[in-house]
């Protein structure tokens, strides 16, 4: 179910070249655990903990930095979907780490929220890669605060 509006995708974006667009379009196989009009959710291929999901926008956005203030409700919905998926998959949002890799520190140039649980089962390297509010990995709250201040 989709609520709110989003900016149309860039006409120059080629969905056929983006792996996440291909998964959203059903062209590339993935173990999809949730999908709706706005998002597709599947496990990370290199999980940092027993529950590690990617909440991916169907509409192509390059990254969190490319969003505007009008996208704050979409980020809030991404968080809600992430918590719902954790619950249905047997995880707990009370012990979860949620965040976005901040450019240029992302491997896929398509907006996606990492939902990782439980935090205490993350390995040493994963704790560094997904270090909360570092200059390379930021919480949804930090993204929304930056968008709120964006001109």
- Residues labelled catalytic: 112
Give the Cα separation of 26 and 16 in Å (integer): 11
Give the Cα separation of 5 and 76 in Å (integer): 13
Of the candidates 2, 139, 9, 20, the one whose C-alpha atom is nearest the C-alpha of residue 73 is 2
* Distances, alpha carbon 22 to alpha carbons 25, 85, 88, in Å: 5, 21, 25
Give the Cα separation of 59 and 17 in Å (integer): 14
Residue 49 near residue 116 (C-beta atoms within 8 A): yes
Structure token digits, residue 51: 């529950």
């Amino acid at each position: 179910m989709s609520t709110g509006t989003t900016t149309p995708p860039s006409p120059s974006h080629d969905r056929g070249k983006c792996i996440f667009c291909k998964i959203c379009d059903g062209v590339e196989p993935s173990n999809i655990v949730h999908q709706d009009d706005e998002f597709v959710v599947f496990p990370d291929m290199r999980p940092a903990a027993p529950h590690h999901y990617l909440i991916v926008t169907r509409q192509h956005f390059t990254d969190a930095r490319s969003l505007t203030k009008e996208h704050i409700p979409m980020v809030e919905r991404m968080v809600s979907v992430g918590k719902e998926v954790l619950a249905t998959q047997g995880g707990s949002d009370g012990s979860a780490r949620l965040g976005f890799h901040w450019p240029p520190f992302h491997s896929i140039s398509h907006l996606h929220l990492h939902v990782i649980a439980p935090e205490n089962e993350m390995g040493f390297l994963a704790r560094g890669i997904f270090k909360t509010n570092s200059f390379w990995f930021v919480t949804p709250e930090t993204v929304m605060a930056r968008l709120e201040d964006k001109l």
